[in-house]
Amino acid sequence: MTGTTGSITPEQQQAWWSARVPDRWQIYLYEVDSVAVAYGLLRLVDDRWWLTFGVAAHLRGRGIGKQVARHLVGLVPGPIWADMHVDNAASVGALHAIGFVGGLIEDGVIRGMMHPGST
Ligand SMILES: CC(C)(COP(=O)(O)OP(=O)(O)OC[C@H]1O[C@@H](n2cnc3c(N)ncnc32)[C@H](O)[C@@H]1OP(=O)(O)O)[C@@H](O)C(=O)NCCC(=O)NCCS
């Protein structure tokens, strides 16, 4: 994404994003004992909030993705959407588990949506 292949600090990462991201985006880095374990991204596009998220590869499948997604859903004032690849079982599983509903919008893509407080 940046062309940098070495390690960078959370502060460097934050500065990189801050210099590039429009006001209507919100980016979260989740840490345990000062070690980054997950990120979350909220984007306001065409009056809709969109969510995407990721968990460090070695920590997936332990419920962190659901916690991150719940946190992000709780931050927006209305409904929230997410597009997922049908083959991305972890993404579909995490969002479905916290209350996203939806269906195929095109070949291979599921569009999910939920309202805050509907978990
Ligand atoms: C998608 C992602 C964030 C999920 O985070 P996670 O911490 O692994 O997910 P959780 O442990 O919270 O699991 C959530 C649910 O999905 C299920 N699940 C997780 N991994 C799964 C897998 N590989 N296959 C099937 N189901 C899976 C879990 O069983 C759980 O369901 P349950 O509550 O009914 O048991 C993580 O896998 C990731 O970072 N993937 C790469 C980036 C990505 O694809 N982001 C999504 C973009 S929309």
pLDDT at 65: 97
pLDDT at 4: 57
**Rounded distance from Cα 88 to ligand 1 centre (Å):** 8
**Judging by DSSP bridges, how do beta strands 101-106 and 109-114 pair with one another?**
antiparallel
pLDDT at 2: 44
pLDDT at 51: 96
Structure tokens at 40: 């979350």
84 lines ligand 1 (CB under 6 A): yes
pLDDT at 68: 97
**10-114: CATH topology:** Aminopeptidase (3.40.630)
From first to last of its 119 residues, the chain has per-residue pLDDT tens of 345 567 888 788 778 777 766 678 898 999 999 999 999 999 998 899 999 999 999 999 999 999 999 999 999 999 999 999 999 999 999 999 999 999 999 999 999 999 976 66
pLDDT at 38: 97
What is the domain partition of the chain in residue ranges? 10-114
110 lines ligand 1 (CB under 6 A): no
Can you tell me the distance from the alpha carbon of 57 to that of 32, in angstroms, rounded to the nearest whole number?
Answer: 15
Whether the CB-CB separation of 81 and 49 falls below 8 Å is answered with yes
pTM of the prediction? 0.85
